[in-house]
Chains A and B, each alone.
Chain A
Amino acid sequence: MPGLLDKRLLFVTGKGGVGKSTVAIALGLLAARRGRRTIVAELASQERIQGLFAENAGGEQFRELELAPGLFTISIDPQQAMEEYLRVKAGPLGQALGSSRLFQAFAMATPGMRELLSIGKVWELAQFDRRTRGAAPYDLVIVDAPATGHGVGLLRTPKTFADIARVGPIAHQGRTIADTIADREFTGVVAVATPEEMPVNETLTLADEITGDELALDLVVVNALYPARFEETELAELTAALSRTRSPLARSALRAALSEHARAATQREQRDRLSDHVNGRLTELPYVFTDHLGIPELEVLADALQDALP
């Protein structure tokens, strides 16, 4: 089995708000450092990564943009993906269909179609022989996937469509993509959770569900873990200091210390709950106290992932 970053396709998933984009880019930076030409693909036109680095976007949506040397990003729009697919697959007829507003409305409203088109584009990005003429191949595609529930659904979409269509091009395409996703040499899944109850629950559910799909979680990233600054034995000292000091500023600081200690301790309980379940596949990223995560901060997180991904 190749190392995580030596695979060709990685899905990064997790509950909303846990820092999936952050982890996806940090993984991308690490892969790029190791000489892998990498692209981070956002789905469902979230435009979050491109928004984070608005200075690079220059108003060009849904294009492959370079974030850092060897690291690219793209925001995948299902509609755009459909037009591209039709153009390449079906020539003039496809082009006519693609520009038919009726057809577009119909296709976009068909349940699962948006997901299928998005994942189809991801699959295209991961091919050495790109469907898009003249496009350079990538060594690694990292997908910043939708929230967990949607994420598993997304991984299942190609198979579902293959089953529904049974025969014909969609069935064929669906099956090809489904086989690629099921190939653990080719595809990896990374779950991201903050050490809180709900994200941990979702990750545990994901770990179970995904095993049923003959996939597996390759890595679980516990993101934004508060530092443990104080020992349990120091709590009494902090509490005593709080009761004897009159300085309002010192009192605020002591309260903040006690409060953060409580949070850090709860976070560790949640981390352990996750860790017990996904033995050995867990790595941690520290909470970054900053106004805004830019490339320099993300490089630091990439350093932190280094050890977990030899």
Chain B
Amino acid sequence: MNVAEILDGKRVCVCCGSGGVGKTTTSAAVALGMAARGAKVAVVTIDPANRLANALGLEQLENEPRRVQPSRLATSDLKVDGELWAMMLDPKRTFDELIERIAPDPERAEEIKANRVYRELSTAVSGSQELTAIAKLYELDQEHEFDVLVLDTPPSRNALEFLDAPNRINSFLEGRALKAFMKPTGFGFRTLGRGAMPLLGGLRRITGIDLITDLTVFFGLLGDMTGDFSQRASQVEQLLRADTTAFVLVTSAARESVDEAIWFGQRLETDGLPFAGVIVNRVHHDLLGDREPHELSDALAKTLTPSLAGRVADNFRDYHVLAARDDHNLARLAADLDDQRLLLVPQLDDDIHDVEGLARIHRYLFASEAERQQLIDDLVA
């Protein structure tokens, strides 16, 4: 099993995982690999490291993918037959565009964009990135410009935010709760229904009145658009559930990341979302095998000064604490996410920050079973 097989027949690849596990790099390497295999691929990312963004020619937040020039890709020995496109998502602008698209006329769109509740909503770090990332994915999918779309989900501590935050904002925009308090008056605007008064009276006493006024104005402006939000939300949901979509979970082999990957994987399965595979980064492979540690000391003593040999052995011992930890966590991951194949990428020397580095990771992700074994053997021997 490799990424090419996982993504066979897929148009959308959603890379999920908690913060700090190398999600952006992995997404870029997946996209590069698919492009190398002849596809026209777009990778949508939120917040890549500067050096990686520079390597891909991404200079600013943008709203449309931009082609990564073939000359940039030529820096590695990977031959790219297809096209790699990339974009750094601008959540605020994407949100504004969404409003412009749905609003009945430009004046209404401007009024909404100027509304204080909207400004808070569209710039709130929590939620707006997730919502706009999915909205962008949906839009690109509708345009049919690309063979494959790879989404690097926003950096949050908790991978579940990606699934939950858009729902939270959507249910706010749909105004489900507020709707119950309101009744239509026939002018496209809504006023408060009588049944809501005692409850809203209480709300005012506790919160201060202006918040309620702002919200009422906001929902008045949204008017019938709330229906469009519901409709879009269900279309996006369909896209995420489609059998041409693949959720790929990215994790490291450390305990907390693995715990979170297990929760998230189980959640994908419970929700019936197309869970396609797990990529585990920064794995410390066992280098000792069935050999005894003293064999190492003997071998090192023959070739190094005692001081240096001692430190090399210390380093090796510490490395093996992590190898044992990873081994244990990978076993747990495999057991708790049954049938999910794990694609392992070893701990590399350095942060990946250029196309050459991506090509290096790509080798592990797209290797056949035999090639992968060879790569690991090379590492060990």
> Which residues of chain A have a CB within 8 Å of any CB of chain B?
15-18, 44, 46, 48, 51-52, 86, 89-90, 93-94, 96-97, 100, 102-103, 105-106, 108-112, 114-115, 146-147, 149-150, 153, 160-161, 164-172, 194, 196-199, 201, 229-230, 234, 237-238, 241, 244-245, 247-257, 259-260, 262-263, 266, 289-292
Contact = CB atoms under 8 A, between A and B. Distances in A.
A93 B202 contact: yes
B29 to A, nearest CB: 16
Nearest to A51: B259
A108 to B, nearest CB: 7
B126 A249 contact: no
B375 interface: no
Contacts of A248: 380-381
A245 B168 contact: no
Contacts of A251: 381
Given A17-B20, A18-B20, A253-B296, A111 B206 contact: no
A250 B296 contact: yes
Given A111-B169, A164-B214, A252-B287, 11 more contacts: A112-B124, A150-B126, A150-B156, A165-B208, A169-B207, A238-B304, A245-B299, A252-B380, A252-B381, A253-B296, A262-B349
Chain A contact residues, majority secondary structure: helix
A199 B50 CA distance: 11
Q: Interface extent on B, as a size class? A: 35 or more
Interface of B: 18-21, 47, 49-51, 116-117, 120-121, 124-127, 155-158, 168-169, 171-172, 176-178, 180, 199, 202-211, 214-215, 252, 255-257, 259, 287-288, 291, 295-296, 299-300, 302-305, 308, 311-316, 318-319, 321-322, 324-325, 328, 347-351, 353, 379-381
Given A15-B19, A252-B381, A262-B350, A106 B177 contact: yes
Contact of A16 (B157, B255, B288, B305): B157
B157 A46 contact: yes
Contacts of B311: 229-230, 257
A241 B314 CA distance: 17
Given A15-B19, A16-B157, A250 B303 contact: yes
